[in-house]
Structure 1
Amino acid sequence: MSIVEIQNVSITYHRKSTPTVANVDASFEAGTITALVGPNGAGKSTLLKSVADVVDFDGEVMIDGAPLRSYSRREKVKQVAFVAQHGNANSELLARQVVELSRMASKGPFARQTDEDHEAISHAVEHADVAHLMDRTWNTLSGGEQQRVQLARAISQSAKVLLLDEPTNHLDIHHQFRLMGQLRHLATDHNVCVIVAMHDLGLASRYCDQIVLLEDGELVKSGAPHEVFTPERLMSVFGIDAEITTVGGHLDLAVNSAVPNWKHHHEPKEGLAH
Structure 2
Amino acid sequence: MTDSAVRCRDLRVNLGGKDVVDGIDLDVAPGDWVAVVGPNGAGKTTLMHALAGLIPSTGELSVGGLSPRNSSRKAMSAVVALMPQRPVVPEGSTVKELVALGRTPYLRRFGTETATDRSVISSVIERLDLTEFADRRATELSGGELQRVVLARALAQEPQVLLLDEPTSALDIGHQQQVLDLVEELREADNITVIAAMHDLTLAGQYGRRIVLLDKGSVVADGTPSAVLEADLLGRVYGARVEILDRPSGPIVVPIRQEGTR
Relative to the length of structure 1, the TM-score reads 0.87
Say whether residues 1:5 and 2:4 are aligned partners: no
C-alpha distance 169-35 of structure 1, shift in aligned 2 (>3 A): same
8 Å CA contact retained: 1:74, 1:107? no
1:36: which partner in 2?
Answer: 36
CA distance in 2, matches of 1:67, 1:254: 36
8 Å CA contact retained: 2:201, 2:253? no
Render the CA deviation track for 1:200-234: whole Å, top value 9, x for unaligned: 11111011111110011111111111121111111
CA distance in 2, matches of 1:173, 1:166: 14
1:252: which partner in 2?
Answer: 251
Say whether residues 1:59 and 2:66 are aligned partners: no
2:23: which partner in 1?
Answer: 23
Say whether residues 1:95 and 2:91 are aligned partners: no
Q: Which amino acid aligns with 2:139?
A: N
1:169: which partner in 2?
Answer: 169
Equivalence map 1:54-133=2 (5 Å): 54-133=54-133
2:149: which partner in 1?
Answer: 149
**In the comparison of the two structures, how many residue pairs are matched?**
257
| Structure 1, gaps ≥5 residues long | 261-274
CA distance in 1, matches of 2:213, 2:74: 32
Q: Secondary structure at the match of 1:240?
A: coil
Q: Which amino acid aligns with 1:252?
A: P
CA distance in 2, matches of 1:148, 1:64: 24
CA distance in 1, matches of 2:220, 2:18: 18
Residue 149 of structure 1: how far off its partner (Å)? 0.9
CA distance in 2, matches of 1:122, 1:138: 16
Render the CA deviation track for 1:109-154: whole Å, top value 9, x for unaligned: 4243333222321232233332232212233234433222110000
Residue 255 of structure 1: how far off its partner (Å)? 1.1
1:208: which partner in 2?
Answer: 208
Residue 241 of structure 1: how far off its partner (Å)? 2.7
Q: Which amino acid aligns with 2:210?
A: Q
Residue 244 of structure 1: how far off its partner (Å)? 2.4
8 Å CA contact retained: 2:35, 2:197? yes
8 Å CA contact retained: 1:30, 1:187? no
CA distance in 2, matches of 1:254, 1:102: 36
CA distance in 2, matches of 1:126, 1:252: 33
CA distance in 1, matches of 2:258, 2:219: 23
CA distance in 1, matches of 2:142, 2:166: 16
8 Å CA contact retained: 1:32, 1:188? no
C-alpha distance 214-258 of structure 1, shift in aligned 2 (>3 A): farther
Q: Which amino acid aligns with 1:12?
A: N
CA distance in 1, matches of 2:172, 2:52: 26
8 Å CA contact retained: 2:38, 2:215? yes
1:182: which partner in 2?
Answer: 182
C-alpha distance 241-127 of structure 1, shift in aligned 2 (>3 A): farther
Residue 66 of structure 1: how far off its partner (Å)? 3.4
Q: Secondary structure at the match of 2:246?
A: strand
Residue 259 of structure 1: how far off its partner (Å)? 5.8
CA distance in 2, matches of 1:26, 1:124: 30
| Structure 2, gaps ≥5 residues long | none
Residue 100 of structure 1: how far off its partner (Å)? 0.7
Q: Which amino acid aligns with 1:10?
A: R
Relative to the length of structure 2, the TM-score reads 0.91
Q: Secondary structure at the match of 1:70?
A: coil
1:270: which partner in 2?
Answer: none
C-alpha distance 215-258 of structure 1, shift in aligned 2 (>3 A): farther
CA distance in 2, matches of 1:259, 1:212: 28
Q: Secondary structure at the match of 2:40?
A: coil
2:45: which partner in 1?
Answer: 45
C-alpha distance 109-89 of structure 1, shift in aligned 2 (>3 A): farther
8 Å CA contact retained: 1:213, 1:220? yes
Question: Aligned Cα RMSD in Å?
Answer: 1.8
Residue 36 of structure 1: how far off its partner (Å)? 0.9
